[in-house]
Amino acid sequence: MAEKNRDAFLIVDIGETTRAALVQRENGTYRLAGTGEAETTLDAPELDVTEGIRKAAQSLKKQGKLIGANGPEGVNLLCSSGNGGGLYMMVAGVISMISGESAQRAALGAGAHLIGVFSKDDPRPEYRLVETMRETRPDMFLLAGGTDGGAFNQVLDMATTIRDADIKPRFGDDYKLPVIYAGNVEVRDRVAETLTEGYATRAVDNVRPEIERENLGPAKEAIYDSYMEHVITHSPGYERLAKWVSRPILPTQAAVGKMLYSYAERRKANLLAVNVGGSTTDIYSVYRGIFNRSLDAEMGLTYGAMNVLKTAGVGNIEKWLPEAIDERRIRNAVGNLMVQQPQSFTEEQRILRGALAREAIRVAIEAHKELASRLKGINIRRTIADTFSQDVESTYLDMGDTQIILGMGSAFQSLGESAHLLLDSLEPLYLSEFYIDRAGLTPHAGMLLGDAPEAAFNLFTGETLQRLGTCLSPAGKGEGEALQIKLSRSNGKIIETSAAFGEIKTLPLLDGETAKLEARASKGLYLGKGKEKSIEASVTGGALGLIIDARGRPLRTPEKKETIKAWARALALEEA
């Protein structure tokens, strides 16, 4: 891998399009010098991904030539890739809820798209497991199982099943499928003997060395290495690209996860991010320093739109619409969304798309809770006090303890609609900051972290994050006046107002401006986990100011469509 001077980084993310960002150091400070994009060139006639990178770099014309005949000129090239749908993986463990779940977390955390999960306690007969493995061609396989010094024969049995399946890689039969073993260290040699002939195997530290402890880092690093060495280089032009980059190429989702985790850790805050794409919905979370990612495959806004409709049901889509639409019309409109370009959407289609996004996120969040949870199989000592509390929760995801909420992807374009979508789908509680990814440079910032952390944070916070504002959302149910609010702004102005139950409203607070918020909830509503009736806090404004959502929790959609229209009007914003 090549390395040039460290004063300039050309960072490229390869997806449906190839997007480039140039970051340069001037007078000791890194800044974004420009962005460019070009069509990804994996298909005929180019059949060479580096041509798309060259064209994206050329779109930065004022910067001169960045990619020459032999690669980067005067810059470090960093690259992430999600082409071909990303990294497709299978995982296996001895027990599905223990080693199998740890293997899933490792693979998903490394940016993978899971297409198969297997275990010894799988109810399917072994011949069916073999058939499924053989028919579902992945890019990579991760095998876990047994604590160190624990299960032995069961791990070998699973390795034998993988051997018998003779799994072929997704692209091309002329190379061996990478298999990473991250289970009981005492079985390593035997697993290698079983699998080496048919697979490109490597062993790393156990993902679950003890029942009470996970160790996902080595498996994730091995996934990155195998992705670079065995998977991505088989796509047109990637073998050449591997010699150009100064760091290994990562899956796009892995670069995104690295940035979100680092940002949450620096802020010392819990973070929840949702990324709604055309065919998938990603959820990222960082709670108490623990990172999790889940992927709801085939649930999106274009290719995955019909799956959202099927999973959520027509009724759950229709309830978000400001006008009643019959089922047949909804189904026809969803079908059109799957083939039309966004720029040609009618107003009705745009609103329907928002309803689909709400349900895609809701379904994906429920799935995410299963992975973002305490380790299964460990003994938890509960006191008498625990019997009457929720401290020993089944999932880390807690909307009442989520300080940062981020919307990513094509669903989050308009500022007001983005805030409305996050409010409806996630139902945040108490105080939380709302952001959207306005520039799509999160993977670029994530790739830059290893070389220039401060530049990465500046790129992420200064160029990518758009602050929508801070949101106040009481829990419970009430009627009449819900909240009394006093906002003391930094310019000395004081705003005193109230919010009715069921109402959304905004208060003026400039982007980045801090103010003192004092609020008191009426009967049936509360503003904290201890059912506090009042709150005092420092809040920061954004494009929408301070957002007040007095609709209560859990959120109940209204019978009157006019109410849904009023909610949308409350968050409407004139945008250039």
Q: How many domains does the chain have?
A: 3
Decide if 396 is inside a domain: yes
Q: Are 79 and 92 members of one domain?
A: no
Q: Assess whether pLDDT exceeds 70 at residue 387.
A: no
Q: Is the peptide bond before 474 cis (omega within 30 degrees of 0)?
A: no
Left if phi > 0, otherwise alpha if psi is -120 to 50, otherwise beta: which for 462?
Answer: alpha
Decide if 260 is inside a domain: no
- Write down the pLDDT at residue 203: 95
Average pLDDT for residues 299-303, to the nearest whole number? Answer: 88
Q: Are 322 and 275 members of one domain?
A: yes
Prediction pTM value:
0.90
Q: Are 133 and 96 members of one domain?
A: yes
Q: Are 495 and 566 members of one domain?
A: yes
- Using a pLDDT cut of 70, give the percent of the chain over it: 95
Final residue belonging to a domain, choices 83, 105, 130: 83
419 beta partners: none
- Write down the pLDDT at residue 528: 93
Decide if 255 is inside a domain: no
Q: Are 119 and 30 members of one domain?
A: no
**Greater confidence, 385 or 562?**
562
Q: Assess whether pLDDT exceeds 90 at residue 1.
A: no
Phi then psi dihedrals of residue 534, to 5 deg? -135, 160
Q: Assess whether pLDDT exceeds 80 at residue 377.
A: no
| DSSP character at residue 209 | S
Around Cβ 165, how many Cβ atoms within 10 Å? 21
- Write down the pLDDT at residue 393: 54
Q: Which of 58-72, 302-316, 457-471 has the highest mean pLDDT?
A: 457-471
Q: Tell the burial category of 136 from Cβ atoms under 10 Å away from its Cβ (0-12, 13-18, 19+).
A: middle
Decide if 164 is inside a domain: yes
Mean pLDDT of the chain: 89
- Write down the pLDDT at residue 565: 92
- Write down the pLDDT at residue 142: 95
- Give Cα 22 to chain centroid, integer Å: 24
Final residue belonging to a domain, choices 83, 118, 138: 83
C-alpha angle 221-461-509 in degrees, rounded to nearest 5: 145
Can you tell me the distance from the alpha carbon of 294 to that of 359, in angstroms, rounded to the nearest whole number?
16
539 Cβ neighbours under 8 A, 6+ residues apart = 431, 470, 472, 487, 509, 514, 515, 516, 517, 546
Model pLDDT for residues 100-111, shown as the tens digit of each residue: 899 999 999 999
350 Cβ neighbours under 8 A, 6+ residues apart = none
- Write down the pLDDT at residue 391: 41
What strands lie across the sheet with 112-119, from one edge to the other? 112-119, 87-93, 140-143, 177-181, 199-203
Model pLDDT for residues 551-574, shown as the tens digit of each residue: 999 999 888 899 999 999 999 875
Question: If you write DSSP's letter for every residue of 450-494 in order, what string do you get?
Answer: TT-HHHHHHIIIIIIEEEEEEEEE-EE---SEEEEEEEEETTS-E
Decide if 402 is inside a domain: yes
User: Domain holding 72: CATH number?
Assistant: 3.30.420.40
Q: Assess whether pLDDT exceeds 90 at residue 4.
A: no
Lowest mean pLDDT segment, chosen from 184-198, 370-384, 451-465: 370-384
Can you tell me the distance from the alpha carbon of 13 to that of 455, in angstroms, rounded to the nearest whole number?
17
Q: Are 359 and 416 members of one domain?
A: yes
Can you tell me the distance from the alpha carbon of 319 to that of 551, in angstroms, rounded to the nearest whole number?
16
Amino acid letter at 474? P
Around Cβ 19, how many Cβ atoms within 10 Å? 24
Q: Are 72 and 95 members of one domain?
A: no
Can you tell me the distance from the alpha carbon of 442 to that of 282, in angstroms, rounded to the nearest whole number?
14
Q: Are 227 and 284 members of one domain?
A: no
Q: Assess whether pLDDT exceeds 80 at residue 61.
A: no
Around Cβ 565, how many Cβ atoms within 10 Å? 12
Is residue 469 within 8 Å of 415, Cβ to Cβ? Answer: no
- Give Cα 76 to chain centroid, integer Å: 27
Decide if 319 is inside a domain: yes
Is residue 436 within 8 Å of 274, Cβ to Cβ? Answer: no
Average pLDDT for residues 38-45, to the nearest whole number? Answer: 85
Task: Give the structural domain span for 136.
Answer: 86-234
Lowest mean pLDDT segment, chosen from 232-236, 243-247, 315-319, 559-563: 232-236
Q: Are 45 and 121 members of one domain?
A: no
Lowest mean pLDDT segment, chosen from 141-155, 304-318, 378-392: 378-392
Decide if 258 is inside a domain: no
Q: Are 331 and 308 members of one domain?
A: yes
Q: Assess whether pLDDT exceeds 70 at residue 388.
A: no
Decide if 102 is inside a domain: yes
- Give Cα 291 to chain centroid, integer Å: 11
| DSSP character at residue 229 | I
pLDDT bucket at 389, cuts 50 / 70 / 90? very low
Final residue belonging to a domain, choices 209, 234, 259: 234
User: Domain holding 90: CATH number?
Assistant: 3.40.50.2300
- Rounding to the nearest 10 degrees, give the CA dihedral for residues 285, 462, 281, 300: 160
Amino acid letter at 519? A
Is residue 237 within 8 Å of 419, Cβ to Cβ? Answer: no
Element (H, E) at 202: strand 199-203
Strands (DSSP E) contained in 96-172 are 112-119, 140-143
pLDDT bucket at 42, cuts 50 / 70 / 90? confident
Average pLDDT for residues 238-243, to the nearest whole number? Answer: 90
Average pLDDT for residues 542-546, to the nearest whole number? Answer: 96
Q: Are 416 and 315 members of one domain?
A: yes
Model pLDDT for residues 407-448, shown as the tens digit of each residue: 999 889 889 999 999 999 999 999 999 999 999 999 999 999
Quick one: tokens of 322?
């400001």
pLDDT bucket at 545, cuts 50 / 70 / 90? very high
Residue with tokens 């380790």: 375
Q: Are 191 and 204 members of one domain?
A: yes
The dihedral through the CA atoms of 546, 560, 366, 306 has a sign that is negative
Average pLDDT for residues 62-83, to the nearest whole number? Answer: 86
Amino acid letter at 203? A
pLDDT bucket at 401, cuts 50 / 70 / 90? very high
Is residue 544 within 8 Å of 415, Cβ to Cβ? Answer: yes
Can you tell me the distance from the alpha carbon of 524 to that of 533, in angstroms, rounded to the nearest whole number?
9
Quick one: tokens of 335?
């079908």
Q: Assess whether pLDDT exceeds 70 at residue 95.
A: yes
Element (H, E) at 561: helix 561-570
Amino acid letter at 384? I
- Write down the pLDDT at residue 510: 94
